[in-house]
Structure 1
């Protein structure tokens, strides 16, 4: 029996899709990285729960992969990607929005705005999906997920849990999910507001992003966390790293807390450039930058 057949026999019957040696680079904003040993796209929450209950090996969850470097050797074990069909529904309520983990943050903001609900405008400035936003307490323009989260439903090997912001211990770009937990959907608070003011706020956010960030490049969002009392981009700029290159990787000229794939970068080059920036900042300012971008997988 081949290894692939043995793995299939050991797994629960998946109603979604399962691929072996599946390319992951096309899913990531950087467009780099090796394959998944196994890539599963469950049909719905029930399918996901059955998969988690039976899977004994490592499990990695991919959202929109907008803040992620997948290393060139790829990811071992099972990689989960929740498809929009089954996990992308958005339901607008009188005082909030319930959305699936695969729903894009910007789409949720647009649904809320169309219903005249205020408080979720900041989501249009976060280039990702709701599951990832909850898993890292994403934020932008003065607000974070913890400011608006009522609850999140988390699929675990032992069933479905519903946790609030306190239960997830949401902190700056951090959440504590249960072991092997996967965000399935969440409810975000909002309140009735003036439709024209909501639209204007979202337009301002989009214009600010366009003016200050390389939104049309192959990038991964903010590379490093802002240290207490500092802006990461300012530390990087002061250390002389604006425009710094390594192979096909570059520190953005437009916003130097963004790394770019200029066309032919490898994951190794992007990560090495990030480490070079960290070293220069430490030498110049004495401050150790911490990665905000997630780096997953094996070195080739």
Structure 2
């Protein structure tokens, strides 16, 4: 447990303030005890790899929980993978491929950890977590619960967790297959992501959800003339305009303001109100 712990260096955008109190639980029992004993008036924020998040410049009040050591194990089973919440999505995809287990290749295209992927029903390249999840174990103030996929009421980029629930591990279904074919699909997704997304920039992944209908968020942003738009050192990516970039020295306020400017221009140009996919947490400066 640390107080006034800087978080910006560990976020993908490299921006934001400190956690008032940062807790790294040792294991699931430790996490349950924390949730049980915290007063209900204390705010709780859970962060993983901080790959899909704008951490505001004023930091995070209350208790911030980060799962790391003790939550990263990956176990291979005959027809699936059991992974701790802190296991990286890309590592799970690579582990499955190495064992000739197919169906999880899409995870190589999702930055972050499987805990966050479950909590937001992350998806890429035609597959979402809900399509492969058997169950997730969730720590709550009342104890550890194992929830089936149906219990989480998955929708587009969201899941319904119990109040103050924190995903601790999950089981993902996979299908035994040809190792070469699975490896080829993994390479195909990785190459497509490299070619179309600013993966080497300080970014936070897809900024806005794709709205209902045929047009994707990036198409609407492009149509509104926002490609390359800047506020301070924050920029709409020229490579993929549903990505915001910290070009160097941006503040969280600049990045968030740029996102809101994009939303306003898209609404004015197309009549579509884009919804944030990136989580925005904490207090303004």
Q: TM-score, normalised by structure 1?
A: 0.93
Secondary structure of 1:64's aligned partner? coil
Moved segments of 4+, more than 6 Å: none
| Pairing 1:115–2:99 present | yes
Per-residue deviation at 1:163?
Answer: 0.6
Residues 1:240 and 2:228 aligned together: no
Tell me the residue number matched to 2:196: 212
Of 63, 73, 77 in structure 1, the residue corresponding to residue 62 of structure 2 is 77
CA distance in 2, matches of 1:58, 1:271: 22
Aligned pair 1:257/2:242, yes or no? yes
CA deviation after TM superposition for structure 1 residue 249, in Å: 0.2
The separation in 1 between residues aligned to 2:108 and 2:194, in whole angstroms, is 12
Task: Show structure 2 runs of 5+ residues with no match.
Answer: none
- Aligned-pair distance for 1:164? 1.2
In 2, the alpha carbon distance for the partners of 1:119 and 1:164 equals: 19
Give the match's secondary structure for 1:216.
coil
Post-superposition Cα deviations, 1:239-281, rounded to whole Å, max 9, x if no partner, equal 0000000001000000000000001100000000000000000
User: What is the deviation of 1:103?
Assistant: 0.1
Partner residue in 2 for 1:44: 27
**Cα displacement (A) at 1:139:** 0.3
For 1:140, the equivalent position in structure 2 comes to 124
Number of residue pairs the alignment of both structures matches: 282
RMSD: 0.5
The answer to whether 1:190 aligns with 2:158 is no
Residue aligning to 1:95: 79
- Structure 1 runs not aligned, ≥5 long: 1-17
Report deviation, 1:226.
Answer: 0.4
* Cα shift at 1:25: 0.6
Instruction: Provide the rounded CA distance (Å) in 2 between the counterparts of 1:279 and 1:137.
Output: 26
Which one of 100, 111, 116 corresponds to residue 127 of structure 1? Answer: 111
Give the structure-2-normalised TM-score. Answer: 0.98
Corresponding position: 1:27 with 2:27: no
SS in 2 for 1:110: helix
Q: CA deviation at 1:124?
A: 0.5
